């Protein structure tokens, strides 16, 4: 497979360990050979969803390719479980590969936490483009309750040109990016408390992630009130029992700073 040597050089550190989850041996082997051509060193193959998750624990892959469906495989289910797991590789790029590239399957992959979507049959150029996008272009991470994965607003598929295809990203100033990040964190905090009983473990993780994000932003922007409120939330998160009751007050102390007409809401607008 032809690829620019400069691209291969850039990709190598990001694709040393590759997991291919595909029930079709021929298809899996082909993907493996193509990835070797791009510089992958250790290749792992598994057709079964449950065993693939076990293999993620053992191999800690840098990149995962997954077929959408098989006898013992549901690609969307695998991705959701991976994203919500405690595995080191839970944030690893996932590329879903399938012949069934409809608008609904692409949306399902995106909402499961997949980074990219590639339709079979694909060319070497298609593969290089997808791998380069997930490995070389950073994506912000969303740690919520209803969704865990890369920012869905940055999701793209070269195979689909319908109304859900992303529009060109608008360049934002640094201040606008920070304001957007604060707004998203506050929305996730509110949602995590509202959905706490549905998935307490993920709700606590989502709250902790947003507290860390808001702490960094408070320091960067010199927001003293926000820093104090987040510090209170962090103390609550260190308690032996992080219940909804225990976290509701500290979360509210943070989110109240962003209510309409509050100083922080005005400065973030």
Concatenated DSSP letters for 215-261?
HHHHHHHT-HHHHHHHHHHHHHHTSS---HHHHHHHHHHHHGGGSTT
Same domain, 137 and 239: no
Summarize pLDDT for 196-234 with one digit per residue, the tens.
999 999 999 999 999 999 999 999 999 999 999 999 999
Same domain, 78 and 27: yes
Q: What share of the chain has pLDDT > 90, as a percent?
A: 80
Opening angle at CA 192, ends 190 and 198, nearest 5: 140
Number of domains in the chain: 2
What confidence score (pLDDT) does residue 170 get?
A: 57
Residues in the chain: 269
Average pLDDT over residues 20-39: 95
Indicate whether 267 pLDDT > 70: no
3-state secondary structure of 84: coil
Q: Where residue 193 falls among pLDDT bands split at 50, 70, 90?
A: very high
Cβ contact 264:257 at 8 Å: yes
CATH label of the domain that carries residue 115: 3.40.50.2300
pTM given for the model: 0.86
Same domain, 36 and 129: yes
Average pLDDT over residues 81-105: 95
Domain hosting 245: range is: 174-268
Cβ contact 172:140 at 8 Å: no
Question: Is 165 a member of any domain?
Answer: no
Domain closes at, from 154, 186, 210: 154
Cβ contact 103:164 at 8 Å: yes
Same domain, 12 and 124: yes
> Of residues 44 and 102, which shows the higher confidence score?
44
Same domain, 145 and 200: no
Bridge partners (DSSP) listed for residue 74: 69
């Amino acid at each position: 497979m032809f690829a620019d040597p400069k691209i291969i050089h850039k990709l190598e550190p990001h694709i040393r360990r590759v997991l291919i989850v595909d029930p079709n041996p021929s298809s899996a082997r082909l993907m493996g050979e193509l990835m070797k051509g791009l510089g992958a060193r250790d290749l792992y193959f598994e057709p079964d969803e449950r065993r693939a998750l076990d293999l993620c624990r053992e191999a800690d892959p840098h990149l995962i390719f997954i077929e959408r469906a098989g006898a013992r495989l549901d690609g969307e289910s695998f991705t959701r479980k991976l994203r919500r797991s405690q595995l080191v590789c839970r944030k690893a790029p996932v590329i879903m590969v399938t012949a069934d590239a409809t608008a609904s399957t692409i949306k399902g992959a995106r909402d499961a936490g997949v980074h990219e979507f590639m339709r079979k049959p694909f060319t070497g150029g298609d593969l290089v483009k997808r791998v380069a996008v997930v490995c070389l272009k950073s994506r912000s991470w969303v740690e919520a309750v209803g969704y865990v994965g890369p920012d869905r607003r940055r999701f793209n598929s070269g195979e689909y040109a319908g109304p859900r295809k992303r529009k060109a990203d608008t360049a934002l100033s640094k201040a606008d990016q920070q304001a957007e990040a604060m707004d998203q964190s506050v929305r996730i905090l509110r949602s995590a408390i509202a959905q706490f009983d549905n998935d307490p473990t993920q709700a606590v993780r989502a709250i902790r992630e947003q507290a860390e994000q808001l702490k960094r932003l408070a320091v960067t922007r010199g927001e003293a009130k926000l820093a104090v409120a987040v510090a209170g939330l962090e103390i609550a998160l260190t308690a032996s029992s992080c219940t909804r009751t225990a976290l509701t007050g500290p979360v509210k102390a943070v989110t109240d700073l962003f209510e309409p007409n509050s100083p922080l809401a005005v400065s973030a607008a």
